[in-house]
Amino acid sequence: MTSSTLSSVQDARSRIDEINARVVELLAERQAVVDEICDVKAEADEDIRDPEREAELLDHVRSVAADAGLSPDLAETLFEEILDHSVQHQRRRREADAPSEANGSAGTEGVETSADAPDAWSRNGAPSPNGHGTPMPASRAEAATRPDGASADRSYYRVTREHRADDTIVHVDDVAIGDGSPILIAGPCSVESRDQILRSAEAVVEAGGHLLRGGCFKPRTSPYSFQGLGEAGLDLLAEAGRRFDVPVITEVLAPGDVAAVAARADVLQIGARNMQNFPLLKAVGAAERPVMLKRGMMASIDEWLSAAEYVVAHGSPNVFLCERGIQTFESTTRYTLDLSSVPVVQERTHLPVVVDPSHACGTRRWVPPLVRAAVAARADGVMVEAHPNPQEALSDGPQSLPLDALPRLGKLF
């Protein structure tokens, strides 16, 4: 570029900056008017949305755009987005003004779990017969309370953007998941020994990883495969987390293990095979620990979000999701990484979503490009398996990265 072209580009750019500032100021002015309308409507107990008015407004901006020589489609798309924000903004204001009317107290999930609430959200909330014709014990029949705003014919509501427009940020010690900067979770598939988990923890922390993973209760396809070190593994994982000052995440397989796992782990992982293990979802919901819920390999996004609803409805608002690949006809990779679920889920739910490319592709050399793809898709984080000696790993060696691959990946976070 010659110096005169450069200066005219710079000049045009500064004019663009001024125009952008004016557009933003006008949006702020518009928002103030929206607030006025919101107050009047609340007083008159009127609905926030008015589809007729919205259609009229969009027609109007289309015709203004056409007169101004701008694409009417572009104007409509932009204003649809602006309208959407206005509606969410008004909903938040109403919730804040009327905490008892809306969804529990403002700014919290307002989770209730009382089984004897009058509107317990269950088609079979009343004691029902078990296989032997006797009434089911109350604790087994227990359903979460349906929040106001939900309807009986949809299976999830608390996790939706309709219920809460703002992103949920899950805090694990100093780590924030879902705040806009992606996190890295790394570590071995299974905790195998003190030396193995300590070496892994050191490498994860040095690479800038945020959470250390390590399975202790392993869901293996074959009953003859290594099943994990169980509680002894939990102790080793917790020791590694303390030694290297990094929070730890591990899978819990059974409701009876939740207390032991919650006592040593900072995040409870629900594995793909257990995504619809409802007693387990209820138990981790009640455990007062953040939960990472993996997508079942044969679960739709709706089923995944319904499973998340279980955890939230049973007490834990601190849930994040993990896409780990789904079963398709493709057999080259272990599963098919469904990266499209990331934007879909982010549109539908306020919960963060991370991506696990290791279990999805099953082959270590394909993991780094998929990590980059997940970050490009704006996932809230990535989980990868890494091992000091992948060739000797007791589980998932072929998809585990050597520890010296971590620093390069860490640079992306």
Task: Considering the complex, state which of residue 241 and residue 271 has its C-beta at the smaller distance from ligand PEP.
Answer: 271
Q: Which residue has the tokens 């607030």?
A: 35
- Is the Cβ–Cβ distance between 301 and 323 less than 8 Å? no
Residue nearest to ligand PEP (CB): 271
Q: Is 356 in the site for Mn ion (CB under 5 A)?
A: no
64 Cβ neighbours under 8 A, 6+ residues apart: 75
Applying CB under 6 A, which of residues 241, 271, 285, 317 lies at the interface with ligand PEP? 271
Which residues in 307-366 contact ligand PEP (CB under 6 A)? 324, 359
User: What's at 24, amino acid-wise?
Assistant: V
For residue 215, what are the β-bridge partners? 190
- Nearest distance in Å: CB 395, Mn ion: 6
CB atoms within 10 A of CB 373: 16
Please identify, using beta-carbon distances, which residue of 163 and 324 lies nearer to ligand PEP. 324
User: Rounded to a whole number, what is the distance in angstroms from the first to the last CA of the chain?
Assistant: 34
Under 8 Å between Cβ of 237 and 216: yes
Count of residues binding Mn ion (CB under 5 A)? 2
Q: Which is nearer to Mn ion, 72 or 398 (CB)?
A: 398
Residue nearest to Mn ion (CB): 189
Q: Of 111 and 291, which has the nearer Cβ to ligand PEP?
A: 291
Binding partner selected for residue 324 from ligand PEP, Mn ion, none, CB under the kind-specific 5 to 8 Å limit:
ligand PEP
Task: Compute the least distance from the CB of residue 396 to Mn ion, in Å.
Answer: 4
Does 297 sit near Mn ion (CB under 5 A)?
Answer: no
**271 φ/ψ angles, rounded to the nearest 5 degrees:** -80, 165
Q: Residue 158 binds which entry of Mn ion, ligand PEP, none, with Cβ cut-offs from 5 to 8 Å by kind?
A: none
The residue range among 101-109, 145-153, 168-176, 268-276 that interacts with ligand PEP, by the rule CB under 6 A, is: 268-276
Stretch that binds Mn ion, among 165-173, 253-261, 391-399, 402-410 (CB under 5 A): 391-399
Sketch the per residue contact string, 272 through 311, with ligand PEP: x for CB under 6 A, - otherwise.
xx--------------------x-----------------
Tell me the torsion sign for CA atoms 214, 219, 222, 228.
positive
CA–CA dist 249, 187 (Å, integer): 10
Footprint on residues 173-192 left by ligand PEP (CB under 6 A): 189
Cβ count near 389 (within 10 Å) = 14
CA distances to 26, 27, 73, 171, 186 from 33, in Å: 11, 10, 25, 35, 48
> Of the listed pieces 5-13, 15-23, 269-277, 306-314, which binds ligand PEP according to CB under 6 A?
269-277
Give every CB contact of residue 293 below 8 A, 6+ residues apart in sequence: 270, 275, 304, 307, 308, 311, 319, 320, 321, 322
Residue 179: C-alpha distances to residues 147, 296, 304, 380 (Å): 26, 25, 22, 8
Contact pick of 187, 188, 209, 215 for ligand PEP (by CB under 6 A) = 215
CA distance 391 to 135: 53
If the CB atoms of residues 189 and 258 are measured against Mn ion, the closer one turns out to be 189
Could you tell me the smallest distance in angstroms from the CB atom of residue 268 to Mn ion?
Answer: 16
Q: What is the rounded distance in angstroms from the CA atom of residue 269 to the CA atom of residue 170?
A: 14
Query: What x-and-dash track marks residues 228-267 binding ligand PEP by CB under 6 A?
Result: -----------------------x----------------
- Of 152-211, which residues contact Mn ion (CB under 5 A)? 189
The answer to whether the beta carbons of residues 320 and 178 sit under 8 Å apart is yes
d(CA 277, CA 386): 28
Query: For binding to Mn ion (CB under 5 A), which residues are involved?
Result: 189, 396
Query: For binding to ligand PEP (CB under 6 A), which residues are involved?
Result: 189, 215, 219, 251, 271-273, 294, 324, 359
